[in-house]
A and B are shown apart, each in its own frame.
Chain A
Amino acid sequence: MTLSAYLALALILFCIGLYGALTKRNTVIVLICIELMLNAVNINFVAFAKYGAHPGVRGHVFALFAIAVAAAEAAVGLAALIAFYRSRKTVQVDEANSLKH
């Protein structure tokens, strides 16, 4: 297995995530897509840590950090989402516009 195979996988994951985050109107799906992008980054970290120019453990550390931050983000995001759902009875992104006008 070469580095480019991992990078290709990460790229595909990232693009799927990006597409979903930019187009889906359901907030839950948007959050899931963001997780996808984060995981694509994690794959890159780990792949570079193994096959990059300077192999070492630093990539793994960063991947763990990213997972921790992603968990926190998901927790806060979902909490905000539930609060939003309670007040508006919807989870559609484009209906969250009461601060806009």
Chain B
Amino acid sequence: MTFLSLLVFSPLLGIVLLMFVRKTDAKMIQWLGTAATVPPLILALFAFIQSGRGFRLEQLDEARDWVRLTDLPFLTDTAYVIRYELGIDGLSLVFIVLTAVLATLAAVASMLVKTEKKGFFLWLLALEIGMLGVFAAANFVWFFLFLEVTLVAMFFLVGKWGGFERERAAYGYLLYNGLGSALLLVVIAVLIARTGTANFALLHEMLHNPVAQGQWIAPLTEEGRRWLLGGLLLAFAVKLPAVPLHRWLIRVHVEAPPPVVMLHAGVLLKIAAYGMIRFGVGLFPDEFRAFAGAIAVFGVINVLYGALLALRQRELKHVLAYSSVSHMGVVLIGLGALNEAGIQGAVFQSVAHGLISALSFLLVGVLAHRMGTTDINRLGGLAKAMPLFSGYLLTAALALLGLPGMAGFVGEFTSFLGLFQTKPALAAAGALGLIFAAVYSLKAILDITFGRACDRQEAVVGWRDPQVSAASLGELQGGVVDLQAKEAVPAFILVALIVAVGVYPQLLAAPLDAVVETMMNGLGG
């Protein structure tokens, strides 16, 4: 079977074809770039539907020899063999579908990008390959390789197509995430050196099964395991990000072009959640228990800190950036609970926040394009001129504050449900974040859409987004255009998904059930 390879590398075809398109042919680039994100989407949805019908995902596993590090006679055949291995389970599948959906929508939203479109799409597709690969990888080496692909692609996407401070944001991103990756690499290297394998399933077997302990190249002490888990968690805490490692996120949210933020907030942050669940809970369950309390505390800090700071911001992108910090805290809360509800909650919250932030930044992109600014102080009363847009923005705000019936509620509810079973007092403190969430999201969105209509000329004077190029500034002179069909379609799809997950969460719970149960068994019930 080469299904997974096809799924992961199919955007490559788009990259190759894009090479032959003339740089100036913006229409063709947009069309081709968007089309290139469709094959993974189709394949991912196909796998999702098939698995819902009882297809066993293990059948998709694939492996090929890749690198043989040594050939020492006293080692077994499998030791120090790094193979090209892909494989998915319910957990990865959920994230893969999320990635594929958001990548297509981000590609559609990229029509607002006007400069150097060809390069933009090349990097965007590379980013998609990286993200899909991260979730499809079945061993540490390939996980890391794909992770680094996303890092590089993001660096260029932010650094070249971002706002005025794009370079600073890009270097901040690279520095923080590079350090995180370095730490991750150390952990991976130690694990491989000790066990001789990088394969998740094999590692899992060797870490848990006492019989398999004999195959260790060199044993690992209890303390050593704890250090490894600590390093792993710290590496992912940078990428999540956990307070106080969040500064890079704020800059990236503000400076990166909105379609890129859709993917960044929507998927890249979730890699950290995925990593913590897959490697933290999956490989080191006993040690994770020792960290659970601290993780929950950090989660609550994240929730409150992000929400309180979001209260003060007067720039819509800042509000959304801090709200991302706050929402990722909920993921930590779910993980810190360390029970079925909590872990499912963490995944739900990841998916929910992915969809919601994609919707928000889709709309932010439109807003920046139409009004030339996302400064809340300069905006107001948009519901008059742009009723459809305002409706969607309000929907996004409601989703953001965790309104029941939308995905955000399911994530928050399940995570808190988990933590209330283990640490009720802490959970109650975290629940205060729900109030602040309502305050900051309504304050920001109502100030933009409700109230007295703003003076458009005044608003435009403050434009600061280089992507709003001279051409669109010319458009600004005319009347304000409401959400157009090509922008409304992705927004509608996102809202539909948010509501679908919110109303019937079983949609996501079903594929996760088996995975979470296995992890719970690892935790010893």
Q: Do chains A and B touch in the complex (CB under 8 A)?
A: no
A interface, CB within 8 angstroms of B: none
